[in-house]
Amino acid sequence: MVRSASPLPRLTIPVLLGATLVVAGLGVGPTPAQADEIEDSLVAALDAYRAGDTSVAKEELDFAAQLLSQMKAEGLSSFLPAAQPGWTREDGETQALGTGLMGSGLSANATYRRDGDTVDIQFLADNPMVTAMAGMFTNPSAMGAMGTVKRIGRQKVVVSQDGELQALVNNRIMVQISGSAPVEDKEAYFEAIDIRGLQDF
C-alpha cells in the first residue's frame, strides 16, 4: 500500500514570529514600521511554505530574523554613553553582523571629539571572536600580558601600553575604548557606560 505524503504542519503568523524571535535572540518589541516589514516577510514565508516552496519560505524567514537582529543591535547602541561636557558625539554604524571576517553577532560604536582629542567606543556582542577571548579575561596571567589590569567601578578593565581599554562584560560583550585622548578621558567614558544594563542585555 502506498502512503500519501504527510501534510505540512499548520503554521501561523504567531508561531512563525515566535520561532523567528528565538532565532534572532530578541527580547524587545519592534517599532510599527519594523513590525510591518517583519510581518510582510512572515506572511510571504507562510504563503511560500503552504505552497510547498520551502526555499523561498526559508529566505523570507532569514530576512525577518535579520531585521530582528538589527533591532537588537540598535538596542545595544543605546548603551553608548552621552558625550561628556565639552565633547561631541558621532554615532557609527550599528550592525547585526553576518558570517564574514568578524563572524556573527552585534556591534555598535561611537566617536567622541573635543578639540583634537578623540575617544572611540565599540561594543561587540555574541561574537565568536569575543567568545574565544573570554578565556583570556578569566586568566590573570593572560590579562596581565595584555596590559595593566584595574577595576573601574566593579568591572575589570585591561589598559594596554597604547592606552586602549578593553573589558569583557558578562563573558559575551566586548567593550573597547581607543583614540588619541588621554587614558583618563577614556576611563571617564568607561565609567559613564551602564555596565549593569549591558550585563542584562
Question: Cα–Cα distance between 39 and 43 in angstroms, integer?
Answer: 6
What pLDDT, on the 0 to 100 scale, is given for residue 76? 87
Domain with CATH 3.30.200.100 in the chain: 78-200
State the Cα–Cα distance between residues 157 and 143, nearest whole angstrom.
Answer: 9
Query: Distance between CA atoms of 78 and 200, rounded to whole angstroms?
Result: 13
Query: Residue 88 in contact with residue 112, Cβ under 8 Å?
Result: yes
Find, among 11, 92, 105, 85, the residue nearest to 49 by Cα.
Answer: 11
Task: State the helix-helix crossing angle for 54-77 and 13-24, rounded to 10 degrees.
Answer: 50
78-200 CATH choice from 3.20.20.60, 3.30.200.100, 3.40.1170.60, 3.30.360.10: 3.30.200.100
Q: Can you give the pLDDT at residue 100? A: 45
pLDDT at 98: 53
pLDDT in tens, the chain (201 residues): 444 444 444 444 444 445 444 444 444 445 555 557 888 889 998 988 999 999 988 998 888 877 876 777 778 889 999 999 999 999 987 766 554 444 568 889 999 999 999 999 999 988 888 888 888 888 888 888 899 999 999 899 999 999 999 999 998 899 999 999 999 999 999 999 999 999 988
Answer for the pair 41, 30: CB distance below 8 angstroms, yes or no.
no
